Chains A and B, each alone.
Chain A
């Protein structure tokens, strides 16, 4: 890893850890937090190369699995696939813009809702109830917060307070 990327990536990892802790904290008001890691992982993947994005996603997914019931490894796999796909798509087809990040977050959240409802306990009626009472409201909140995550990671990678040289190089590559 280039030395100049060390501090931005450490800070990005810290953001993922804090998000995972916020997601599972038992004393915060319930509701709206269950899918917070999805926009964090997607917005990080927008600014990262595919392999680092995959590694960050494995970390985020493992922290998600540690606190969730059900089959271990499901959310790790989901986050890894989502991050790799987003990073590749941004490199090949999309620009690093807010609208692109929002669109990719929406797609990832739709997939996350499907995965979390499929992995939930209960019959079809229970899953439908969970879909409308827990999953969809959480997805709506996560989509709203994705703008914040995008701006945060943009700040980390573009205007890193730890590396002025990185900031100028990032600006030059964006201009191209």
Chain B
């Protein structure tokens, strides 16, 4: 054991470990919150993530087509080659149509807010250990993405960028307790903030907190960002109120909100790299 500890191989390994530790310390002070080791690995690993995501998406699309159409399965046995080609063309068409729908939604947002600047991204990986559905987008610093940029899908707020690398970024959804979004309810104009808990996140919900006890916020109300703090632009839709409850710990109320977008099934998203009032 002593021999091993005194060997040059162990010393080299100890130096490498210290370098990794220093990298962790440096990451807290560097822009983007990512260590140099992560940046280097990400440069190689992100293309592999995209390839893996593309392969499994294509396989799951083809599988869905098989299991949902017995009639075509029977036809396929008779005209295998022709039907395979037609199905492949259908998958390409559906993907293009979905992309078009995404861009149309963003175009609507852009037309009503000419100051918005977007960076488009596809979801290439998800942290399966995160209970709040965080994900990785394939747009990064080279696309103008910066730390704390809002992430949107159409006109709905999805989350915020929490880690930026050259070619990818990690986004946390607003279902996470770490992300608080100042918001207001459109009908009653009452202000509060959006936050999350693990239990609500499991059901795909979040809470609109900071309401007064006799609040006029009711089921069906629409919650939007208020723009306070300059982190998020005003009037991005967050979700719809499903119920209003009293807080157990204090004399206030909160509303349970269902997000407008199912963040666990997000395929594409846009990062708002600039908007009027950012940082004010």
Which of A61-69, A103-111, A150-158 is the interface stretch? A61-69
CB-CB under 8 A for A130 and B131, given A26-B124, A50-B4, A72-B27: yes
A135 contacts chain B at the CB level, 8 A cutoff:
yes
Once the chains bind, are B177 and A122 in contact (CB under 8 Å)?
yes
Within 8 Å by CB of B126, from A20, A24, A127, lies: A24
Residue from B16, B123, B128 with most neighbouring chain A CB atoms (10 Å):
B128
**Given the contacts A25-B56, A27-B60, A77-B21, A66 and B130 also touching, CB distance less than 8 Å:** no
Q: Given A24-B49, A72-B33, verify A66-B42 contact (CB < 8 Å).
A: yes
Least distance between A175 CB and chain B CB atoms (Å)? 24
B2-18 interface bits toward A, Cβ cutoff 8 Å, 1 = contact, 0 = none: 00100001101100110
Is B49 in contact with A33, judged by CB distance below 8 angstroms?
Answer: no
Point out the residues of chain B lying under 8 angstroms from A146, CB to CB.
Answer: none
- Which of B9, B33, B53, B202 is in CB contact (< 8 Å) with A25? B53
Complex CA gap A12/B18 in Å reads: 25
The answer to whether A80 and B27 touch across the interface, beta carbons within 8 angstroms, is no
Binary B-proximity of A101-122 (CB < 8 A = 1, otherwise 0) = 0000000000000001000111
Q: A67-B136, A129-B198 are in contact. Are A72 and B163 (CB under 8 A)?
A: yes
Q: Which of B1, B28, B128, B178 contacts A24 (CB 8 A)?
A: B128
> Is B126 a contact of A26 with CB atoms below 8 Å?
yes
Q: Is B41's CB under 8 angstroms from A125's CB?
A: no
Is B114's CB within 8 Å of the partner chain A? Answer: no
Q: Is the CB of B163 within 8 A of A69?
A: yes
A18-B172 Cα distance, complex, nearest whole Å: 25
> Do A73 and B27 have beta carbons less than 8 Å apart?
yes
A72 is contacted by which of B16, B24, B124, B131 (Cβ under 8 Å)? B24
State the interface size on chain B (CB cutoff 8 A): 57
A:137-174 near B, CB below 8 Å: 138
The residues of A that contact B131 with a CB separation of less than 8 Å are 120, 126, 129-130, 133-134
Contacts of B202 in A (CB 8 A): 129, 133
Does B209 sit within 8 A of A, measured CB to CB? no
Q: Are A67 and B125 in contact (CB under 8 A)?
A: yes
CB pair B20–A58 under 8 Å, yes or no, is: yes
B52 interfacial by beta-carbon distance below 8 Å: yes
Q: Is the CB of B198 within 8 A of A25?
A: no
Interface status of A35 (Cβ within 8 A of chain B): yes
**How distant is the Cα of A131 from the Cα of B170 in the complex, in angstroms?**
23
Q: A54-B16, A72-B35, A76-B37 are in contact. Are A34 and B128 (CB under 8 A)?
A: yes
Check A84 against B24 for contact (C-beta < 8 Å). Answer: no
Residues from chain A with Cβ under 8 Å of B176 in the complex: 69, 121-122
- The residue among A59, A80, A121 with the most chain B CB atoms within 10 A of its own CB is A121
Contact with B along A74-106 (1 / 0, CB 8 A): 101100100010001000100000000000000
Residue of B nearest to A122 (CB): B177
| A13-51 interface code vs B (CB 8 A; 1 in, 0 out) | 000010011111111101101110000000000000011
Tell me if A133 and B198 are in contact (CB < 8 A): yes
The verdict on B118 contacting chain A, using a C-beta distance below 8 Å, is no
A-B contact pairs, 24 of them (CB 8 A): A24-B136, A26-B53, A26-B123, A26-B126, A30-B126, A50-B10, A54-B13, A58-B37, A59-B41, A62-B45, A66-B136, A69-B127, A73-B20, A73-B23, A73-B24, A73-B37, A76-B20, A77-B21, A120-B129, A120-B131, A122-B197, A123-B177, A126-B177, A126-B197
Q: Which 6 A-B pairs have the closest CB atoms?
A: A34-B129, A73-B24, A24-B125, A129-B198, A126-B198, A122-B177
A-B contacts besides A34-B127, A55-B16, A73-B38, 13 pairs, CB < 8 Å? A17-B48, A24-B128, A25-B125, A35-B129, A63-B45, A65-B35, A67-B49, A67-B126, A69-B163, A72-B27, A122-B177, A129-B199, A135-B129
Residue numbers of A with Cβ under 8 A of B are 17, 20-28, 30-31, 33-35, 50-51, 54-55, 58-59, 62-63, 65-69, 71-74, 76-77, 80, 84, 88, 92, 116, 120-123, 125-127, 129-130, 133-135, 138
